[in-house]
Structure 1
Amino acid sequence: MGKIDLIDAHVHLYDEESLSSLRWMDKSLPISCEHTTTKYRAQNWNQGSSPFNFKGVIYIESDVKTDLSCGLEGFTPAVRELKFVIEQSIKEEGLIIAIIPWAPVPLGPQTLELYLNKLFEDINPQQISLVKGFRFLLQDKPDGIMVSRKFIESIKWLASKNFVFELGIDFHRRGDGQYREVGVLFESVKDAAFVIDHFGKPNLAVDGFSDNFNAWKRSMKNIHEIALKNNNAVYLKLSGLLSELDKHAENLSYEEIVQSATPYFEYALQTFGLSRVIWGSDWPVCKLNGGERAFPLWRDLTMDILNSLEASDDLKQRVFSLNAVEAYNIHVS
């Protein structure tokens, strides 16, 4: 087969000025420095020797310091974030093919609509068209937030506008509680599109992972069945597992990482099917536990696992690009 088209469906970007606005950033982190489109292209796009044909990236909001209690003023960091990403898309033309900004989903549709008007102010329609959905990161939020009436009504409103909702939940640190709430959300909202980030963050311990794995499988199976029953299009993003390893990738052999990750890939493909899994790098966060070569490590590991599972060329093309095109309703040349 020829080169496979690749869309990186999970990328964060920020410059030096943006560092202080990131809720999770610490000066001691090795990624506490500029990570822009220019740096992404320089580190990860090697068209000549790569078996992939890079088609672009999907920007996912980077958890800036917003405040739900301060009205529109509390959303200013997210408005600035979108303008920065738009500037980056112009600077490296063709690299950013879709954007998923932050949104105040827990506050209900009325506030959400006011926010979108503010968010898109002074941005031309062509640039606005890059926005394909929204995320309100849930992995560290209090229990109950995503089953509140206003949250559910916001998701219904976004679905009515054909926006996808990006679900950032965490089985590793929060157990199955967030998955149960996702089940309630899927039962309450019909005919909507969702993308679950990072396999739903399972507990990927290299030694003795079977109990964690089986618990994650049960929870994932449950929310998938509920989604199907309510005609929700739910995609699972094959990303983020390097962050869930119990050791730094450089302290593990490649074979150990493959052995640990393969059951999760296999279950994801069996459960969600070849049309509902999407590849993403989680760059630059992936470098925290994967090292500077985390992007090619994750990309190549994905391909090796797909080969070991005897995936067809069609499946590989779907995982690395076509499913992202469908999930986010994007157009690539």
Structure 2
Amino acid sequence: MGKIDLIDAHVHLYDEENLSSLRWMDKSLPISCEHTATKYRAQNWNQESSQFNLRGVIYIESDVKTDLSRGLEGFIPAIRELKFVIEQSIKEEGLIIAIVPWAPVPLGPQVMELYIDELFENINLQKISLVKGFRFLLQDKPDGIMVSRKFIESIKWMAGKNFVFELGIDFHRRGDGQYREVGVLFESVKDATFVIDHFGKPNLAADGFSDNFNAWKRSMKSIHETATKNNNAVYLKLSGLFSELDKHAENLSYEEIVQRATPYFEYALQTFGPFRVIWGSDWPVCKLNGGETAFPLWRNVTMDILNSLEASDDEKQRIFSINAMDAYNIHAS
């Protein structure tokens, strides 16, 4: 086949000014420097030598320091973040084709509406149309938050507005507890669209691999069946596995990385099907455990695994771009 269109469905951006707003950032981290849209394009893309044709990126909120207890004042970092991303979309016109900002989902629809009015104030209507959904990162939040009444009401409100909910959960560090809560959420909300980040963050450590893998499979199967029963469109993002390795990627052979990741790809394709999986790089976070060349490394790992699983050309095209357009309601330009 010719070049494959690629939409990178999981990208974070920030400049020096925004570093202090990131909840997880530490000055000792190698990515504690600006990672702008221009740097993304320059670092990751050489179109002439690539088998891919970049169609754009989806910006996912970067976990800024918001505070639910302070009302709109506590949401200011997220409002600033969106304005920064809009500026980036202007500087690198055509690169950012969808945005998923932070939202105060646990506070219910009334607060959501107030927040979104504030979020969209003074932003060009054409740029507002880039916002396709919202994320409230759950991987580090207390148990019970996503099954609270107000949280569920917010998700129903989002579904009614055709917004996607980006679901960041963590099997590696939280076990199956968060997956059980996702099952309750999917049971409580019908006809909604969800995107699960980073394979749901399984554990790719070498020791106990079989037990880890089988436990993840059982939990993933359960939430997928619940979603299907309630007519929820759930997409699984093929991203973030470098962060779940027990070693830095440079300390593993390419073959070992492929070997560890392949069962997760295979199960994702078997369970969700080639119409409901989406590729993302998790740039620049992927560089923390994947090194400076993490972006092409992950892209190559994905392609080699898809080839080994005998994915068709059409399936590859869906995974690398078409499914993201469907999930995030992106219209072809």
Structure 2 distance, partners of 1:284, 1:161, is 31
For 2:295, the aligned partner's letter is: F
Give the superposition deviation at 1:45: 1.4
Structure 2 distance, partners of 1:162, 1:208, is 41
Structure 2 distance, partners of 1:71, 1:307, is 49
Give the superposition deviation at 1:46: 1.0
Structure 2 distance, partners of 1:154, 1:27, is 35
Give the superposition deviation at 1:220: 0.1
Structure 2 partner of 1:250: 250
Q: Spell out, residue by residue over 1:254-275, the C-alpha distance to the aligned partner (whole angstroms, 9 max, x if none).
A: 0000000000000000000010
Structure 1 distance, partners of 2:208, 2:134, is 36
Structure 2 partner of 1:322: 322
Q: Percent identity?
A: 89
Structure 2 partner of 1:294: 294
Q: Does 1:125 align with 2:110?
A: no
Give the superposition deviation at 1:332: 3.2
CA RMSD of aligned residues (A): 0.5
- Look up the SS of the partner of 1:138 in the other structure: coil
Q: Is the 8 A contact 1:206 1:257 kept in 2?
A: no
Structure 2 partner of 1:193: 193
Q: Spell out, residue by residue over 1:168-212, the C-alpha distance to the aligned partner (whole angstroms, 9 max, x if none).
A: 000000000000000000000000000000000001113441100
Structure 1 distance, partners of 2:275, 2:289, is 29
- Look up the SS of the partner of 1:75 in the other structure: helix
Structure 1 partner of 2:282: 282
Give the superposition deviation at 1:331: 1.9
Superposition pairs for residues 304-319 of structure 1, below 5 Å? 304-319=304-319
Structure 2 distance, partners of 1:46, 1:276, is 28
Give the superposition deviation at 1:20: 0.2
Structure 2 partner of 1:226: 226
Structure 1 distance, partners of 2:119, 2:323, is 28
Q: Spell out, residue by residue over 1:257-305, the C-alpha distance to the aligned partner (whole angstroms, 9 max, x if none).
A: 0000000000000000010000000000000000000000000000000
For 1:239, the aligned partner's letter is: S
**Following superposition, which runs of at least 4 residues in structure 1 exceed 4 angstroms of deviation?**
none
Q: Is the 8 A contact 1:192 1:233 kept in 2?
A: yes
Structure 1 partner of 2:11: 11
Structure 2 partner of 1:112: 112
Q: Does 1:73 align with 2:67?
A: no
Structure 2 distance, partners of 1:260, 1:114, is 45
Q: Is the 8 A contact 1:7 1:55 kept in 2?
A: yes
Structure 2 distance, partners of 1:38, 1:323, is 25
Structure 2 partner of 1:94: 94
Structure 2 partner of 1:32: 32
Structure 2 partner of 1:62: 62
Q: Which runs of 5 or more residues in structure 2 are unaligned? A: none
Structure 2 distance, partners of 1:249, 1:209, is 17
Structure 2 partner of 1:183: 183
Structure 1 distance, partners of 2:89, 2:125, is 14
Q: TM-score, normalised by structure 2?
A: 1.00
Structure 2 distance, partners of 1:14, 1:162, is 27
Q: Is the 8 A contact 1:5 1:55 kept in 2?
A: yes
Give the superposition deviation at 1:98: 0.1
Q: Is the 8 A contact 1:239 1:280 kept in 2?
A: yes
Structure 2 partner of 1:166: 166
Structure 1 distance, partners of 2:114, 2:165, is 18
Q: TM-score, normalised by structure 1?
A: 1.00
Structure 1 partner of 2:213: 213
Q: Spell out, residue by residue over 1:119-171, the C-alpha distance to the aligned partner (whole angstroms, 9 max, x if none).
A: 00000110000000000000000000000000000000000000000000000
